[in-house]
Amino acid sequence: MFGLTSGYTIHIPETGASFNCKPQEMLLVAMMRLGKKGIPVGCRSGGCGVCKVQVQQGKYATGKMSRAHISEQEEQAGFVLACRCQPQSDLVITVVGQMRKATHRNEVSSSTAE
Amino acid sequence: MAMTGVLRPGHVQIRVLDMEASLTHYIERMGLLETDRDDQGRVYLKGWDEHDWFSVVLRPADTPGMDFTAFKVDSVETLNRLEQSLKDFGCEITRLPAGDLKHCGERVSFISPMGHTFELFAQKDYIGNGLGNINPHPWREDLKGMKVHRFDHCLLYGDDLDGAVKLFTEVLGFQQTEKVVVGPGGSVQIASFLTCGMKAHDLALIRHEEKGKLHHVSFLLRSWEEVLHAADIMGRYKIPIDIGPTRHGITRGRTIYFFDPSGNRNETFCDSYDWYPDHPEITWTEDELGGAIFYHDQQLNERFLSVVT
């Protein structure tokens, strides 16, 4: 797969899912490719908080995010809105926002890696 | 019937996370025109066919949403009279001096039972629509992007819908054009569409557990072709679309919803009907709610219903 030679691997231990995020791509865009139906992607602009995740391991850059959804303490603890998070290494994440009910649906088959 | 009292939506102040990205969005993509800035970092904008100095104010902030929206009234006498009526209703009033918003006269600010800050004002400086008032051309040739004609209305989410409808109809003279009811026998109202003039809505309100939330700020277009052109702009510049182009059963609007760079929802729409005060109120029931909201596919969309700022 072409995808494996560039970009980063994102891993969600709770569901076993691993997927590729291309360089310069926002984490949310990569998560949308997981193909789970009905992922309630929200505003995609850092405002609504639907795509909140916590990064457990890895480096990333962030854009502007609403303080109503990511407090300063949370930001220091690795909480981000996936639509405003650009991975800069492989990441290990936990889904905490409203997206959780979609990403964690029917997760048995797991690791549909690219 | 002459139009008196509250005339129309006058302005909305929107909080934005990134001013530069927001100016690109509202000016280059949507086609609003910048008319001023102030020392609080606020930027004043208007739709091309509006005559008052501004209708949209962007304020830099660390959370998105709406600070307030305002209605223009026909005179200072009306402003004073409605201020007293609002006090009698139980609202806490703040008088803001002329010039607090540049080019705008005194404003009467109050908080509605749903938690939103509304304002009334009687005076705003005239800037015109750029066409002149003697033998004007019918259109401008210097417009950008979606070329929105004007700020049209807000849809707001909050808890005490019944209280807010009472305030707008009984105190401010609005009429309810359409409503949505649910529950046994349609006993619970969940949405209200209110007019102060001849539009199907000048304000829309939806019941929601949290106070003071913004669902969308809407801008007027004049044809379905213009709505499709707006969608083309969204595709070209990868503006995240919420839903559409489609049609609402409620108000009959033909519409597309999308998000600004801070996650505030915008609408561009065309079409509706003319409202006269002797028209009957329209009711939408729970079993037909899908088509009431999205007439084409007759299905509700979770994001449209739940994402607010």
pLDDT at A113: 35
Using a CB–CB cutoff of 8 Å, tell me whether A46 touches chain B. yes
In sequence order, the 6+-apart residues with CB closer than 8 A to the CB of A46 are A63, A64, A65, A66, A81, A83, A84, B17, B64, B261, B262, B263
Higher pLDDT, A31 or B236: B236
pLDDT at A32 (0 to 100):
87
> Residue B116 catalytic?
no
Determine whether the interchain pair B263/A42 forms a contact, defined as Cβ–Cβ distance below 8 Å. yes
Burial class of residue A81, CB neighbours in 10 A (0-12, 13-18, 19+) = buried
* B33 vs A66: CA distance, rounded Å: 26
Using only the alpha carbons of chain A, give its radius of gyration: 13
Rounded alpha-carbon distances, angstroms, from residue A37 to A95, A102, B306: 16, 7, 17
- The CATH number linked to A65 is 3.10.20.30
Structural domain contains residue A111: no
Query: Does B135 touch chain A if contact means CB atoms closer than 8 Å?
Result: no
Does some domain include residue A114? no
Looking at chain B, which residues constitute the CATH 3.10.180.10 domain(s)? 6-121, 152-306
Query: Is A91 within a domain?
Result: yes
pLDDT tens profile B210-229: 999 999 999 999 999 999 99
Q: A112 lies in a domain? A: no
Query: Strand, helix or coil at A95?
Result: strand
Q: Which of B278, B308, B284 is nearest to B298 (CA)?
A: B284
Q: Which of A66, A75, A99, A101 to mutate to test the interface with B (most CBs of B within 10 A)?
A: A66
Residues B192, B195, B201, B204, CA torsion sign: negative
Per residue, the 3-state secondary structure of chain B, as one string, reads CCCCCEEEEEEEEEEECCHHHHHHHHHHHCCCEEEEECCCCCEEEECCCCCECCCEEEEECCCCEEEEEEEEECCHHHHHHHHHHHHHHCCCEEEECCCCCCCECCEEEEECCCCCEEEEECCECECCCCCCCCCCCCCCCCCCCCCCCEEEEEEEEECCHHHHHHHHHHHCCCEEEEEEEECHHHCEEEEEEEECCCCCCCEEEEECCCCCEEEEEEEECCCHHHHHHHHHHHHHCCCCEEEEEEECCHHHCEEEEEECCCCCEEEEEECCCCCCCCCCCEEEEHHHHHHHHCCCCCCCCHHHHHCCC
Residue B263 Cα distances to A54, A78, B97, B274, angstroms: 20, 21, 31, 32
Give one DSSP letter per residue of A100-111, joined into a string: HHHHTTT-TT--
Q: Are B302 and A48 within 8 A, CB to CB?
A: no
Structurally, how many domains does chain A consist of?
A: 1
Interface test with chain B among A43, A98, A99, by most B beta carbons within 10 Å: A43
Asked about B296 being catalytic, the answer comes back as no
Model confidence at B194: pLDDT above 70? yes
d(CA B50, CA B10): 10
pLDDT for B286-301, tens place per residue? 999 999 999 999 998 8
Which residue is closest to B19 within chain A, CA to CA? A64
> Is B201 annotated in the active site?
yes
Range of the domain at A27: 2-103
Mean pLDDT, residues B39-62: 98
Domain B152-306 top-level CATH class: alpha beta
Instruction: Give the whole-angstrom CA distance, residue A60 versus residue A57.
Output: 10
Percent residues over pLDDT 90 in chain B: 96
Residue type, B162: D
Q: Is A56 a domain residue?
A: yes
Report the pLDDT averaged over residues B151-179.
98
Picking from A38, A50, A64, the nearest residue to B307 by CB comes out as A50
- A113 within domain boundaries: no
Q: Check CB contact under 8 Å for A45 and B262.
A: yes
Which architecture, in CATH terms, is B6-121? Roll (3.10)
Q: Look at residue A39 and tell me if it is in a domain.
A: yes
Contact in structure between A112 and A19 (CB atoms under 8 Å): yes
| Sign of the dihedral defined by the CA atoms of residues A47, A48, A51, A53, in that order | positive
For residues A45 and A69, what is the distance between their CA atoms, to the nearest angstrom?
Answer: 12
Comparing CB atoms, the residue among A45, A65, A98 nearest residue B240 is A45
With beta carbons less than 8 A apart as the criterion, state whether B218 and B267 touch: yes
What values do phi and psi take at B16, rounded to 5?
-130, 145
Task: Assess if residue A110 is contained within a domain.
Answer: no
> Lowest-pLDDT range, A1-10, B106-115, B131-140?
A1-10
Whether B256 contacts B234, CB under 8 Å: yes
**Residue B235 class from Cβ within 10 Å (0-12 exposed, 13-18 middle, 19+ buried)?**
exposed
Mean residue pLDDT across chain B = 96
Mean pLDDT across chain A, nearest whole number? 84
Q: Report the complex ipTM.
A: 0.87
Is residue A15's pLDDT more than 90? no
Cβ contact A44–B17 (<8 Å): no
